[in-house]
């Protein structure tokens, strides 16, 4: 077990700092503290719980740039995106505040005279949140803001590549707590560790929900860890292999901008990043040269420099995976249209690359895997149905989009037999979702939904209540029992 976590910034590889890892021996006490906090917090009225999140949103508004800079230094995303990530946290806080007065259950018509049925949503229990380096703050906030208004304490295991962002989030939350008044000890706790903490924490009996974001290996580990506990829930947000279909009627100016943002933005390190591009043969020649030109000129460099659009890869392993995927695609008959080389070579300890496009002759096995880097596979198609089948022909099912001005194609794409992803967009790229929608995907992406819509229900338990106000005891289904 690592005693210390040393963080190097991907910007130039220099050491940002070192933090002590949370000892394994402390986990039991952390989980017990979370459970004690739950017993107190569940009885606080939800709108009052919402007030704490309102105050947290207020603190985040005051510290937007500061926290955004932490995000950039640890994740390597450009500062505009780092600040955008804090805005995403503010947005989910606002959403959660409103929600704190809208945790509605249904009233249901009873088949029995003098009876009333209804449902109530109650707090669930402590929630374990496991987050990744690429959204070191916002993805935790999606879970955290909802969990707190729903009445659940949170134990957070952030990525060991981004512990300082996590500690800063925790510090800002404590600031909100000070403004709020007394809160139960242990409402929000952070466990600093590598991946090895996930299984023991997930297995802790106090944790009622495990919400995990990362690759499929993490998903398997979580599912296996909790398989023996039938009452435990998990919410998985795993890898994506997101595609765009560009149809003959597409607005190519829009498509170009959407491709660039979603394929090279965040240096291809979003779970929603565009990885596969299917372009109709009729528009290939009008789109691809412009896209290649944009790839040649997109500014790669220091993410703190306002002119930069593509920062570094987070790790040397990511750069190696990028190179290996390109090599494999070439071996499979692909053609490298642009990119692939190293940038900023004077920074020996950092990994900057020129985003790459590989033109592929067919849908290869390599294309079925998620490479967490700015590598875009491009293929021509002639039939929309063929493109749709290719898009769906991968193990992952997170995000997808079509560019078309043909209403039939757009509706076909969103229909039951269309895109099989959790997110299916029209004339907008696959990444950069707003918090208001439920976020997540199907198949190997894990099936979980976080953030907006009714994702809050994950953090609560439903009680169905039948109340008999009559002087009789009629049985359901008309059964007589005398």
Residues that bind ligand UN1 (CB under 6 A): 88, 134-135, 139, 213, 270-272, 431-433
CB of 166 to ligand UN1, least distance (A): 15
**Which candidate in 237, 323, 370, 409 is catalytic?**
237
CB of 466 to ligand UN1, least distance (A): 41
CB of 269 to ligand UN1, least distance (A): 8
- Is 386 or 434 the residue whose CB approaches ligand UN1 more closely? 434
Whether 66 sits among the annotated catalytic residues: the reply is: no
CA angle at 84 for the pair 81 and 89, rounded to the nearest 5°: 135
Whether 271 sits among the annotated catalytic residues: the reply is: yes
- Is 334 or 374 the residue whose CB approaches ligand UN1 more closely? 374
- Contact by Cβ (8 Å): 438, 455: yes
- Is 163 or 214 the residue whose CB approaches ligand UN1 more closely? 214
- Contact by Cβ (8 Å): 171, 189: no
CB of 338 to ligand UN1, least distance (A): 23
**Spatial CA neighbour of 236 closest among 152, 131, 138:** 131
**Which candidate in 93, 150, 271, 421 is catalytic?**
271
Handedness of CA 452, 456, 457, 458 (dihedral sign): positive
Q: Which residue is nearest to ligand UN1 (CB)?
A: 433
- Is 51 or 74 the residue whose CB approaches ligand UN1 more closely? 74
- Is 123 or 239 the residue whose CB approaches ligand UN1 more closely? 239
Is 162 exposed, middle or buried, given 0-12, 13-18 or 19+ CB atoms closer than 10 A?
A: buried
CB of 142 to ligand UN1, least distance (A): 8
- Is 214 or 366 the residue whose CB approaches ligand UN1 more closely? 214
CB of 401 to ligand UN1, least distance (A): 12
Return the structure tokens found at 2: 């690592």
Which residues have a catalytic role annotated? 237, 271
């Amino acid at each position: 077990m690592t005693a210390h976590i040393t963080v190097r910034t991907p910007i130039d590889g220099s050491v940002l700092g070192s933090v002590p890892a949370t000892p394994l021996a402390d986990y039991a006490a952390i989980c017990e503290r979370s459970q004690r906090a739950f017993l107190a917090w569940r009885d606080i009225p939800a709108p009052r719980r919402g007030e704490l999140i309102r105050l947290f949103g207020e603190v985040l508004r005051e510290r937007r740039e500061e926290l955004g800079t932490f995000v950039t230094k640890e994740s390597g995303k450009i500062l505009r995106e780092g600040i955008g990530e804090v805005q995403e946290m503010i947005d989910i806080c606002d959403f959660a505040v409103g929600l704190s007065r809208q945790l509605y259950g249904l009233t249901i018509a009873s088949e029995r005279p003098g009876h009333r049925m209804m449902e109530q949503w109650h707090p669930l229990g402590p929630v374990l949140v496991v987050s990744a380096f690429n959204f070191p703050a916002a993805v935790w906030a999606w879970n955290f803001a909802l969990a707190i208004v729903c009445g659940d304490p949170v134990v957070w295991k952030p990525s060991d590549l981004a512990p300082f962002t996590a500690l800063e989030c925790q510090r800002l939350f404590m600031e909100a707590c000070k403004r709020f008044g007394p809160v139960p000890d242990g409402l929000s706790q952070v466990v600093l560790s590598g991946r090895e903490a996930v299984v023991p924490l997930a297995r802790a009996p106090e944790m009622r929900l495990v919400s995990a974001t990362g690759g499929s290996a993490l998903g398997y580990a979580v599912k296996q860890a909790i398989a023996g506990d039938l009452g435990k829930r998990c919410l998985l947000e795993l890898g994506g292999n997101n595609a765009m279909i560009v149809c003959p009627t597409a607005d190519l100016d829009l498509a170009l901008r959407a491709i660039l943002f979603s394929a090279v933005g965040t240096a291809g390190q979003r779970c929603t990043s565009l990885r596969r591009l299917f372009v109709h043969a009729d528009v290939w020649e009008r789109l691809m040269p412009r896209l290649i030109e944009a790839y040649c000129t997109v500014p790669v460099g220091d993410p703190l420099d306002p002119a930069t659009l593509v920062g570094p890869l987070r790790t040397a392993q990511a750069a190696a995976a990028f190179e290996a995927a390109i090599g494999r695609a070439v071996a499979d008959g692909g053609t490298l249209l642009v990119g692939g080389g190293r940038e900023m070579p004077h920074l020996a300890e950092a990994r900057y690359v020129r985003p790459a496009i590989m033109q592929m002759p067919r849908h290869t096995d390599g294309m079925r895997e998620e490479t967490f880097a700015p590598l875009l596979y491009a293929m021509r198609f002639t039939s929309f149905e063929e493109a749709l089948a290719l898009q769906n022909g991968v193990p992952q099912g997170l995000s997808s989009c079509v560019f078309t001005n043909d209403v039939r194609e757009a509706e076909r794409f969103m229909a039951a037999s269309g895109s099989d992803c959790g997110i299916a967009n029209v004339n907008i790229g696959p990444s950069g979702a707003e918090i208001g929608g439920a976020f997540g995907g199907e198949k190997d992406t894990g099936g979980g939904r976080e953030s907006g819509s009714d994702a809050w229900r994950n953090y609560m338990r439903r009680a169905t209540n039948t109340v008999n106000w009559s002087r009789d005891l009629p049985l359901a289904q008309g059964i007589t029992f005398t």
